């Protein structure tokens, strides 16, 4: 552990929920299709968040080009782990039914929670890094592809362990996956809402 320094006294970690989204096969599209996919994703996420009373704050939500990183300061865990994924998955399926095959999207959602520090430009902390790695887990991507899913969710093991006793997730529908991406070596849980 690095030595204690004066700047570390200014850190004020707070427990936050993190939602990370990624559009599958984004770079394989031409620029017009990328623009359409991004617009559709933002619209679906913003509408779903608004419908569920999840505060949408552009200053703490980060555009990732082919995705989005959302930090939720105050949110009910049952909404974030069940209602938000279910409604967002429904929105993706409705979008795909109403559009041409070349502009349909597949969307991945990663859920995590933990302590983050907020500075003048946003948040920092291991939870954000882990959420990004969850999205890139090859086993998660393979399961989504094998199931032909338009939308799928992956949640960190610490988050799932914390909510397990509340029975918010259907044990019959979630599957354990291994996450070995860059420096992240973890276990997570995935499902298709």
pLDDT tens, residue by residue, 168-186: 888 888 999 999 989 889 9
Report yes or no on 165 lying in a domain: yes
Q: Is the pLDDT of residue 27 over 60?
A: yes
Write out the DSSP string of 61-130: -EE-SSEEEEEESS--HHIIIIIHHHHHHHHHHHHHHTS-GGG---EEEEEEEEEEEEETTEEESHHHHH
Report yes or no on 8 lying in a domain: no
CATH of the domain at 160: 3.30.70.1230
Would you state the pLDDT for residue 165? 83
Range of the domain at 130: 14-191
pTM, two decimal places: 0.90
Would you state the pLDDT for residue 119? 82
Report yes or no on 2 lying in a domain: no
Task: Choose between 51 and 73: higher pLDDT.
Answer: 51
Report yes or no on 31 lying in a domain: yes
pLDDT tens, residue by residue, 131-152: 999 999 999 999 999 999 999 9
Would you state the pLDDT for residue 4? 54
Report yes or no on 60 lying in a domain: yes
Would you state the pLDDT for residue 176? 94
Report yes or no on 4 lying in a domain: no
Domain count, the chain: 1
Would you state the pLDDT for residue 9? 58
R_g (Cα) of the chain, nearest Å: 17
Report yes or no on 6 lying in a domain: no
């Amino acid at each position: 552990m690095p030595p204690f320094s004066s700047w570390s006294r200014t850190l004020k970690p707070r427990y936050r929920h993190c939602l990370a989204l990624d559009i599958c096969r984004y770079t394989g599209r031409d620029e017009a299709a990328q623009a359409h996919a991004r617009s559709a994703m933002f619209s679906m996420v913003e509408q779903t968040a608004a419908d569920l009373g999840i505060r949408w704050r552009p200053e703490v939500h980060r555009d990732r080009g082919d995705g989005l990183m959302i930090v939720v300061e105050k949110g009910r865990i049952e909404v974030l782990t069940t209602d938000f994924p279910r409604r967002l998955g429904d929105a993706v399926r409705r979008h795909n039914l109403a559009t041409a095959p070349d502009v349909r999207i597949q969307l991945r959602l990663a859920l995590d929670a933990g302590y983050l520090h907020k500075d003048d430009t946003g948040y920092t902390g291991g939870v954000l890094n882990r959420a990004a790695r969850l999205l890139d887990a090859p086993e998660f991507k393979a399961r989504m592809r094998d199931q032909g899913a338009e939308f799928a969710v992956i949640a960190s093991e610490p988050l799932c362990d914390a909510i397990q006793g509340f029975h918010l997730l259907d044990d019959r529908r979630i599957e354990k996956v291994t996450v070995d991406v860059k420096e992240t070596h973890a276990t997570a849980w995935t499902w298709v809402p």
